[in-house]
Amino acid sequence: MRKLIFPVLLFLAIGLVFISLSEIEQTVLVFASANLVLLAGAIILVFIYILIEAFNYRVLYLLLGIDEPYRRLLLLASASSFINVVAPSGGFGGIAVFVDDAGKRGYSRGLAAAAGALVLFMEYAGFSVVLALGMGVLFRRNDLNPGEITATLVMLVILVGLGFGIYLGAVSGERLGRSLQKIAHSLNRFLWVFTKKEYFSEIAAHTFGQEISEGLGLVRNQKKNLLIPFAISTIAKGIQALILAMVFMAFEVEFSVGTVVAGFSLAYLFLVVSPTPYGIGIVESIMPMALFSLNIPWSQAVITTLVYRGVTFWIPLALGAVSLKILEQAD
């Protein structure tokens, strides 16, 4: 069964490429007019972001008592990002990569799931700091609209919901186990129409919840240490905003710090709340309008969006596919 996973995911990724062919063609065309040195700097920052993301997993794994090699975590983090794009699930699909790897390498799947949930929470929490600054810029410029407010509230609900789940697991494995069991029961009732059998083991879901709780319980008494992964996540989001600034400079676009912060905030916000994989189609539509409202000329707003999305989406996607293949061959 596992041998079929990579071909299926590769098929989904190829489908994603075909759907986005027009976007890829436009991105390639506008690359020719850029300052290639500054553009190379933006691409280097993408690689730095990927390295930092893996380092965050390393920090949280150590807090949970797992001494997993950084190289392995780098491959897992990259493959996780790939999974989140081709099989979008709000960031939770990528956690399965770590859980599956834990099972194969002989340590607790619950610990791996706890680490993945904490990294996801820290990522959203770190972004919320940048988002607050971005919303402040838009409010000060009297440029905050109902769509952006609604998306921010959705983001807040996701963050609070994830935080509550982590808190629940940290204080009571039984309660988290029952919650996951109820979710599995609801999914089974929905899927029964198609499968005519219990698709998810409700007992296993309950047990898995208790395993996750064990991991979360380990960090309950290390709250101060959690400031480190939070700071790393916030810095990582700052690097993503800096990538946008480098793209601006590569195309000689006049901008301010506030424009970069607000522009990145809106791009990443709609990436998170978008129903499409990694915000495809949604971000490309909203980001140029957001930049235009921030006094970036329309033509430059479109070019910036295409290139920014090109380097922050397609490069990690390609690396993630390679990482997943390396992991598959290593196993």
pLDDT in tens, 131-184: 999 999 888 888 888 888 898 998 898 888 888 877 777 777 667 667 766 776
Tokens of 108: 């607790």
Whether 187 has a pLDDT exceeding 90, the answer reads: no
155 near 273, Cβ under 8 Å? yes
Whether 29 has a pLDDT exceeding 70, the answer reads: no
Q: Output the pLDDT for position 207.
A: 63
What's the whole-number mean pLDDT along residues 103-131? 85
Query: How would you label 257-287 residue by residue, b for 16+ Cβ within 10 Å and e otherwise?
Result: ebbbbbbbbbbbbbbbbbeebbbbeebbebb
Number of domains in the chain: 1
Is the CA virtual torsion 65, 67, 72, 73 positive or negative? positive
DSSP for 6-26 reads HHHHHHHHHHHHHHTHHHHHH
12 near 86, Cβ under 8 Å? yes
pLDDT tens digits, 66-85: 888 999 999 999 888 888 77
Spatial CB neighbours of 90, under 8 Å, sequence gap ≥ 6: 158, 272
* Amino acid (one-letter) located at 88: P
What's the whole-number mean pLDDT along residues 227-236? 92
Q: Which residues form the domain of 26?
A: 2-330
DSSP for 294-308 reads TT--HHHHHHHHHHH
Tokens of 213: 């709780």
Higher pLDDT, 218 or 164: 164
Tokens of 276: 């499409």
9-13, 43-47, 158-162, 265-269, range with the lowest pLDDT: 9-13
145-159, 219-233, 243-257, range with the lowest pLDDT: 219-233
Whether 119 has a pLDDT exceeding 70, the answer reads: yes
pLDDT tens digits, 33-57: 668 889 899 999 999 999 999 999 9
Q: How far apart are the first and last CA of the chain?
A: 14
Q: Which of 326, 243, 286, 314 is nearest to 86 (CA)?
A: 314
Identify the residue whose tokens are 């140029």: 288
Runs of H (alpha helix) within the chain: 2-19, 21-31, 36-63, 70-86, 95-105, 109-140, 146-171, 173-195, 202-220, 227-250, 257-273, 282-293, 298-309, 315-330
Angle in degrees, CA 31, 37, 40, rounded to 5: 70
